[in-house]
Structure 1
Amino acid sequence: MPPMASTKETLAGGNIGPVRHQRHDSYLLPTDTIEERRLLEQQKALSELFGGRVLIAPVQLSPGSEVLDVGTGAGAWALAVAESHPGAAAIDITCIDIGADMFPKQHPPNMTFQVASALEMPAEWTNKFALVHQRFILSGIKYDEWEQDIREIYRVTEPGGWAQLCEWNSVVYHQEQEAAGSIGNSKPGPAGTKVMNLWMRLGEKNGVDFLCPKRIPGLMEAVGFVDIRREEWVVPLGAWNGDLSKTFAENLETVYRGFKNAVLKQGGFGVVQGGEDYDALINEVVREWAAGPGGYDSFVVFVGRKLQ
């Protein structure tokens, strides 16, 4: 496994290459200033990992184009588009989420933030957006809601427009490596394995699908998207591999700590007995990452085009 790795694959019809508060019962992470800061730092790290790209979809945005950011959170991706895309001031960016807790207090005038569900967007948005972006909502919707989510994304995408969906892929990555017998140095340590198992148990208990990246391309094709393409990035965790790997380790540590209340609410699944036990487990995971190869993070982006 190289220090950083990425893969690209065309999948269908393609010729393109304190108490931390919850915002919704289905959302497993808190919505506080810690999470807001994490999301903004995550955007910077992902942009570097993606080679400086904010737009992975090969969409051409012209003056008057409209962009939708679904599950915007703190608006990190949308703000990056506004800051980095040539001519961004001439496009309209709409950002939605199921709660307004983390919406930025300041943003460019061509950006609009509103509370709306990805599963039931306004009827008047049909065929409206040149690009629909969605990222990291796997912990916020149920297994059986994914089909409706992607159907809604297809509906609001304009004919000829693009969807760009990014999800956390680490559980899938480790399962695939183990199945192929090539886990090697990417095998998590004992504490990392425990946390991964906790995640899976938490997902099952809450009806959340941490393996959703396996299903997304099929769901996109089923609703009508074409030219579906998949790109995956794998990054080692820990300062031993440089600043970017250190940043991703710190970011994932914050995620792990953010799941604490959700895990304890379910009694710890027989893995941890209480808050101090959970904290000690995460501390051990961080030590494993710092010790050298063993912890890896993985991200996957799917893009697809709506027929004219």
Structure 2
Amino acid sequence: MPIISYALLLSRLNLQHLIIVKAFDRKLLAAPVSLKDGDRVLESGAGTGTWMLQLSTQVPSTIQIHGVDIAFRLFPAIYPTNMSFSIGSITSLPESWTSSFTFVHQRLLMGALTMTMWKAAISEISRVLVPGGWVEFVEAQASFPHVGTQSTKLAMFLVDMMRDKQLLVDCQIYIPIMLQEAGLVNIHSERRGIPFGRSAGQDGIDGSTNFAGAFVGMKAPMLQNGGYGYVQSEEEFDQLIADAKDEWLASDSNLPFYTIYAQKPL
């Protein structure tokens, strides 16, 4: 990946973190977990480690924070001594991690996990949680705002691509069900909206710009199979994103986000 593209991706993901946290009252954790000295926290799909870095400023240094991701290229180069990273998948965690984490955090893996993978991930998370520990998922609704012909087209494009790849569309509906099936309790889901229009000021501009950038990152898979009948070239794809963004900015729409948490029984 070219350096400039990497830098833009890093910037977009860090801004995305700030946008989501702001939508949820600036709280990094919605689950009613009480972290104490010696506890361990796991972030699945750690990415840039931004959530972990911010958490490290809010908890004692005696709390260990570990991030796991399938690739290391976004991991930060500098981080506190109570933070660590490893390469791996949430669907298959080390056996040595059994009953060792008080809290597990996972955000925006809707574009990576099939139904089977979601079930495996939840099973693994339950295994690595200590009895009484909590897991929290943060996910967006797959259907982006339909406020015009181009934004509707882009949203339908995304859903068709996800279904083609057997990804779990509207995972916010299924996660609570899978958590219950896995034996977790005290399941709670909360919905918030990320503003997408200029009427919301800088927050709306940031929201539409940031998530339009997310579509740019999905260009290759969305252009497979002839663009699923929506576009015929990269140029048409880029124009579709630009037009959809203009429609979002001219509206007072928002993108629904959900935080879903549950507890492992004692």
Which deviates more from structure 2 when the two are superposed, residues 59-68 or residues 136-145? 136-145
Aligned position for 1:180:
none
Aligned position for 1:28:
none
- Structure 2: any 5+ residue segments left out of the alignment? none
Aligned position for 1:204:
163
- Alpha-carbon separation, structure 2, partners of 1:82 and 1:250: 28
Deviation at 1:144, TM superposition (A): 2.0
Alignment of 1:32-51 (within 5 A): 32-51=6-25
- Structure 1: any 5+ residue segments left out of the alignment? 1-17, 21-30, 175-185
Number of residue pairs matched by the alignment: 265
Amino acid at match of 1:125: W
Deviation at 1:187, TM superposition (A): 4.2
Aligned position for 2:81:
109
CA displacement, residues 246-302 of structure 1 (integer Å, 9 cap, x when unaligned): 211111110111111211233111110101111111111111122223x42111011
- Alpha-carbon separation, structure 2, partners of 1:143 and 1:93: 28
Q: Specify which of 44, 54, 66 is matched with residue 28 of structure 2.
A: 54
Amino acid at match of 2:161: L
Name the SS of the counterpart of 1:59 in structure 2: coil
Aligned position for 1:244:
203
- Alpha-carbon separation, structure 2, partners of 1:156 and 1:271: 42
Deviation at 1:201, TM superposition (A): 1.2
Alignment of 1:114-193 (within 5 A): 114-171=86-143, 187-193=146-152
Deviation at 1:236, TM superposition (A): 2.8
Amino acid at match of 1:137: L
Deviation at 1:32, TM superposition (A): 3.2
Q: Specify which of 227, 243, 248 is matched with residue 186 of structure 2.
A: 227
Aligned position for 1:194:
153
**2:183 touches 2:264 (CA, 8 Å); kept in 1?**
yes
**2:19 touches 2:194 (CA, 8 Å); kept in 1?**
no
Alignment of 1:221-300 (within 5 A): 221-293=180-252, 295-300=253-258
TM-score, L = length of structure 1 = 0.82
Q: Which has the higher contact order (CA 8 A, sep 6+)?
A: 1
Name the SS of the counterpart of 1:90 in structure 2: coil
Alignment of 1:75-94 (within 5 A): 75-83=49-57, 85-87=58-60, 89-94=61-66
Aligned position for 1:301:
259
**2:196 touches 2:255 (CA, 8 Å); kept in 1?**
yes
Name the SS of the counterpart of 2:158 in structure 1: helix
CA displacement, residues 169-215 of structure 1 (integer Å, 9 cap, x when unaligned): 242xx7xxxxxxxxxxx642111110011101111221211221111
Q: 1:207 to 1:187 in 2, by over 3 A?
A: closer
- Alpha-carbon separation, structure 2, partners of 1:219 and 1:73: 24
Q: Specify which of 59, 68, 72 is matched with residue 96 of structure 1.
A: 68
Name the SS of the counterpart of 1:215 in structure 2: helix
**1:238 touches 1:246 (CA, 8 Å); kept in 2?**
yes
Amino acid at match of 1:259: M
- Alpha-carbon separation, structure 1, partners of 2:190 and 2:244: 27
Aligned position for 1:216:
175
Runs of 4+ in 1 over 3 A off after TM superposition: none
- Alpha-carbon separation, structure 2, partners of 1:279 and 1:187: 18
Q: Specify which of 63, 72, 77 is matched with residue 46 of structure 2.
A: 72
RMSD (Å) for aligned C-alpha atoms: 1.7
Give percent identity, aligned residues only. Answer: 29
- Alpha-carbon separation, structure 2, partners of 1:62 and 1:143: 34
**1:32 touches 1:101 (CA, 8 Å); kept in 2?**
no
Name the SS of the counterpart of 2:102 in structure 1: strand
Name the SS of the counterpart of 2:31 in structure 1: coil
- Alpha-carbon separation, structure 2, partners of 1:269 and 1:261: 12
TM-score, L = length of structure 2 = 0.95
**2:146 touches 2:155 (CA, 8 Å); kept in 1?**
no
Amino acid at match of 2:195: P
